Amino acid sequence: MEKAVVCKNLKKTYGSQDIAVPALRGVDMEVLQGEFLMLMGPSGSGKTTLISIIAGILTQTEGECIVAGLNLNKMPDKEKTYYRGHHIGFVFQAFNLIPMLTVAENVSIPLLLLGCDRQEALNRARAILSAVGIGEKAGVLPKQLSGGQQQRVAIARAMIHNPDLIVCDEPTSFLDFDTGHKVMELLRAIVTENKKTLIVVSHDPRITKFADRIVRLEDGQIVEMTTPID
């Protein structure tokens, strides 16, 4: 299978000189196209930093991060923004929904940023909301939704532009077990049915069975790679 992501000796340091804080200390990792990879580890282990570099949101201090054969973080900003907008979806831990916009309007944002006609973007938003099981909520505001419903909106927004790579930061952190289980089933189905590559950061050991492979980080380094056992 083709490699969707290749990280080589990836390092990231925040600050400089006396206040330098290393977040990644030489990460070597590959993610295959169509794979569901889960990143686990304690708080501060570098998980969010790693996926932010992979998604082109952060730039590494040293090393290489190759996404779909492209050295994303060496691209000019305009090209990187274009690539990220077309090919990468990011589900933030805090959802980052805009409170004064309806659910459909929130989901349509990636398409609007790509220049899509507003009505077409809203129609596609309603369709994908139906696909994730909350089509009837298209016209309400985010505050009228449960945590699980808001998470589905965030996933729909990350998927609407049909990205090749979807990255999720703690997608079940605000959810009870049953709701979190349903969200993970949805993510698993996206990978299986649409051949997407998915990287999920999580602390929750109850959802590891959904992944194809688990990578564990500690102190900015990979300490273990395993295949989950049901």
Domains of the chain: 3-95+164-226 (3.40.50.300)
pLDDT for 105: 97
**Do the beta carbons of residue 114 and residue 85 sit within 8 Å?**
yes
Predicted pLDDT of residue 229: 62
Residue 230: per-residue pLDDT: 59
CB contact at 8 A, 60 and 53: yes
Q: What is the pTM of this model?
A: 0.91
Query: What value does the mean pLDDT take over residues 85-99?
Result: 89
Count the neighbouring beta carbons within 10 Å of the beta carbon of residue 167.
27
103: helix, strand or coil? helix
> Of 64, 73, 55, 86, whose CA–CA distance to 168 is shortest?
55
165 confidence band (pLDDT: 50, 70, 90): very high
Question: How, if at all, do strands 221-226 and 213-218 pair?
Answer: antiparallel
